[in-house]
Amino acid sequence: MRVLIATDAWAPQVNGVVRTLTSLARCAPQVGMEIVFLPPDGFPRFPVPSYPGLHLAIPDVQTIARRIEAARPDAIHIATEGPIGQTVRTYCLRNRLPFMMSFTTKLPECIAARFFVPTTWSYWVLRRFHAAGRVTMASTGSLVRELRGRGFHRPLGRYREREPDRPEAHREPVLSRRARGHPPAARPEASGAAVS
């Protein structure tokens, strides 16, 4: 299965989103998946005021469409809500393609701290943005619950809920291969290819 991941966050940035995506690309072949990235490479960029080192791309619709069509993905995942994510979302909606999304950064709180925009406004925009996806992936059970509380539809965590009414037991324990009596799995060195 080939999965195209659209992301505004990419090298040379070093952050949780970039690390998560590169780790995912390394591990995906173990479960029969091929990851192809649609990063901001090749697009003009502008610096984000008050956030040194962060630049956002200015994608054009035709190039995004060509990159998606060249990748020929079986599934599309929008990892970020920036201009790349917005443009891929629009392409998918226009072409009636299903897609899933991620909620990885508390963007409304970041915007409020930097630009004094109320978080309620940003969450309203993000609710509308994420509502178009089949599912919104979240990293923890507590974030899934928070998103549900904020009116997001279909948030899904990485872990299955074991006892929803007991927050301290919000996920099933994951045993390492070694703890189950197996040798550690080999770590593949390959990373996902970028579509250009």
Tens of pLDDT along 20-55?
898 888 999 999 999 999 999 999 999 888 777 788
pLDDT at 170 over 60: no
- Is residue 159 very low, low, confident or very high in pLDDT (cuts 50, 70, 90)? low
Please name the amino acid found at residue 178.
R
- Is residue 181 very low, low, confident or very high in pLDDT (cuts 50, 70, 90)? very low
Give percent above pLDDT 90 in the chain: 55
Q: Average model confidence (pLDDT) for the chain?
A: 82
Compute the average pLDDT of residues 96-121.
90
Where are the domains positioned within the chain? 2-194
Contact 35, 24 (CB under 8 A): yes
Helix, strand, or coil (residue 75) = strand
Contact 79, 21 (CB under 8 A): yes
User: What pTM value is reported for the model?
Assistant: 0.79
Please give the C-alpha separations between residue 40 and each of 49, 67, 129, 136, 140, in angstroms, as whole numbers.
18, 11, 19, 21, 27
- Please name the residue that has the structure tokens 């960029």: 45
Please give the C-alpha separations between residue 175 and each of 178, 182, 184, in angstroms, as whole numbers.
8, 11, 12
Range with the lowest mean pLDDT among 78-87, 130-139, 165-174? 165-174
Position 50 scores a pLDDT of: 78
Position 20 scores a pLDDT of: 86
Compute the average pLDDT of residues 175-190.
39
Residue 109 vs residue 182, higher pLDDT: 109
- Is residue 171 very low, low, confident or very high in pLDDT (cuts 50, 70, 90)? very low
pLDDT at 187 over 80: no
Within 8 A by CB and 6+ apart from 93, the residues are 132
- In angstroms, the CA 91 to CA 80 distance is 15
Domain boundaries 2-194, corresponding CATH code: 3.40.50
Position 160 scores a pLDDT of: 53
Position 106 scores a pLDDT of: 85
- In angstroms, the CA 69 to CA 71 distance is 5
Position 195 scores a pLDDT of: 66
Among 73-82, 103-112, 183-192, name the most confident range. Answer: 73-82
